[in-house]
Homo-oligomer: A and B are copies of this chain.
Amino acid sequence: MSVTAPLGFRAAGVAAGIKPGGARDLALVVNDGPSRAAAGVFTANRVKAAPVLWSQQVLAGGRLRAVVLNSGGANACTGTEGFQDTHATAEKVAAALEDSAGEVAVCSTGLIGERLPMDALLSGVETAAGQLSRDGGLAAADAIRTTDTVSKISFKRAAGYMVGGMAKGAGMLAPALATMLCVITTDADLTSEELDAVLRRATSRTFDRLDTDGCMSTNDTVLLLASGAAGVKPDLAEFEQKVHEVCADLARQLLVDAEGASKAIAIEVVGAASEADAVTVGRAVARSNLLKCAVHGEDPNWGRVLAAVGTTDAVFEPDRLNVAINGIWICRGGAVGDDRSKVDMRPRDVTITVDLSAGPHTATVHTTDLTADYVHENSAYSS
């Protein structure tokens, strides 16, 4: 499973001593080829962590031999010293693999604004390099967790090849990559240009449509590595479908594990004049703290849905808006619709359907409810 399901990949996850308490905190994923084609997408936040700046440069070459990831520290807002730390980490991986640092991506996650403990980290890289194995995918996925309560892994089989992935992310989930680290691997044979196009489309419709708290991270990174070890040139449409499935599966796992959440809410926008309108409306609704509180209280408060829709510039007429919650159309034509007592809000999954009555386009944005546990977790925990 995870990133080592496809042929050509080895991984390891070790406790380097970056996190207090001895939990795993350093992961290494290595592509043994024969191909090293790779692509990446990164946070849209203009305040980018050092590892993001480094990995963007590396990915410009379209090739990756390895990815090193640490939890326990984001190495964001750490100045030129922080960038040098990332560089040193890549060099250490390169030395262990007798390869070039220019093909080593670095990902970090954890508290912003603190330097990483480099002695511990570099010796962890050495340990991880010594433990690389074909079944190291689970340990690697475990090592990148921060407030995640479970490891997130996924795996899909296709015609003669496989796609595997791991991700971390539990808070600060918002558009432009949903605050996360994710590594996806395949043993199919593709060029970096093909991987780039597929990855951008897949992430734009999965991770980019997750918005649990409207907060965008400084460290988001999604990488796609192809070893070509299966010797298969895949059908591109099928490959894109598999990558999409892995991304969607991991995105769902992030959503379900979101900090303090008790409900998984799908905001399904239909009848939009464009897909962009549908996404805009979905995000506005997903970011309404008042609505998220109402869902937590199992109150089918469609007024708060309309109040959020009204803040957008999407094409719609207020008196043609319809809203259903869990299938009951409690708002029709911008006013009261079916009996709200018919809405069953008890299931963990809540679907809010917004019909803009303005066209044929649709999009779904996923979010969670707002709970006292979220407040507690993010008041007590520095991240």
Asked if residues A375 and B372 are in contact (CB atoms below 8 Å), the reply is yes
Q: Say yes or no for A146: interface residue by CB 8 A criterion.
A: no
Q: Say yes or no for A5: interface residue by CB 8 A criterion.
A: no
Asked if residues B78 and A309 are in contact (CB atoms below 8 Å), the reply is no
| Contacts A47-B306, A379-B296; A171 near B290 (Cβ below 8 A) | yes
Binding-face segment, A62-70, A137-145, A332-340: A332-340
Asked if residues A113 and B302 are in contact (CB atoms below 8 Å), the reply is yes
| Contacts A79-B334, A79-B335, A334-B79; A304 near B372 (Cβ below 8 A) | no
Instruction: State the number of copies, please.
Output: 2
CA distance A127 to B107 in the complex (A): 68
Contacts of A310 in B (CB 8 A): 45-48, 216, 218
Q: Say yes or no for A382: interface residue by CB 8 A criterion.
A: yes
Asked if residues A309 and B77 are in contact (CB atoms below 8 Å), the reply is no
Asked if residues B112 and A380 are in contact (CB atoms below 8 Å), the reply is no
| Interface flags, A103-115, vs B, CB<8A=1, else 0 | 0000000011111
| Contacts A47-B309, A378-B293; A79 near B112 (Cβ below 8 A) | no
Contacts of A111 in B (CB 8 A): 303
Identity of the chain B residue whose Cβ is nearest the Cβ of A298 in the assembled complex: B379
| Contacts A290-B171, A307-B215; A331 near B113 (Cβ below 8 A) | yes
Q: Say yes or no for A353: interface residue by CB 8 A criterion.
A: no
CA distance A288 to B383 in the complex (A): 14
Asked if residues A77 and B375 are in contact (CB atoms below 8 Å), the reply is no
Shortest distance between the CB of A168 and any CB in chain B (Å): 17
Identity of the chain B residue whose Cβ is nearest the Cβ of A213 in the assembled complex: B289
| Interface flags, A290-320, vs B, CB<8A=1, else 0 | 1001101101011110111111100010110
Asked if residues B293 and A76 are in contact (CB atoms below 8 Å), the reply is no
Contacts of A375 in B (CB 8 A): 293, 296, 370-372, 374-375
Most central of A112, A218, A310, A370 by chain B CB within 10 Å = A310
- The tally of residues in A whose CB lies under 8 Å from a CB in B reads 66
Q: Say yes or no for A121: interface residue by CB 8 A criterion.
A: no
Shortest distance between the CB of A318 and any CB in chain B (Å): 5
Shortest distance between the CB of A47 and any CB in chain B (Å): 3
CA distance A334 to B44 in the complex (A): 17
Q: Say yes or no for A214: interface residue by CB 8 A criterion.
A: yes
Q: Say yes or no for A287: interface residue by CB 8 A criterion.
A: yes
Shortest distance between the CB of A281 and any CB in chain B (Å): 11
CA distance A74 to B302 in the complex (A): 14
Q: Say yes or no for A157: interface residue by CB 8 A criterion.
A: no
Q: Say yes or no for A82: interface residue by CB 8 A criterion.
A: yes
Residues of chain A whose beta carbon lies under 8 Å from any beta carbon of chain B: 44-48, 74, 76-79, 81-82, 111-115, 171-172, 213-218, 287-290, 293-294, 296-297, 299, 301-304, 306-312, 316, 318-319, 321, 331, 333-336, 370-372, 374-380, 382-383
Nearest first, the 6 closest Cβ-Cβ pairs linking A and B are A112-B303, A297-B379, A47-B310, A293-B378, A79-B335, A372-B372
Given contacts A113-B331, A294-B379, 18 further A-B contacts (CB under 8 A): A47-B306, A47-B310, A47-B334, A79-B336, A111-B303, A112-B301, A112-B303, A112-B304, A112-B306, A216-B311, A218-B303, A218-B306, A218-B310, A289-B378, A293-B377, A294-B382, A372-B375, A372-B376
A-B contacts, 10 of them at CB < 8 A, read A44-B311, A48-B310, A77-B303, A77-B306, A81-B335, A112-B306, A113-B335, A216-B311, A290-B383, A294-B379
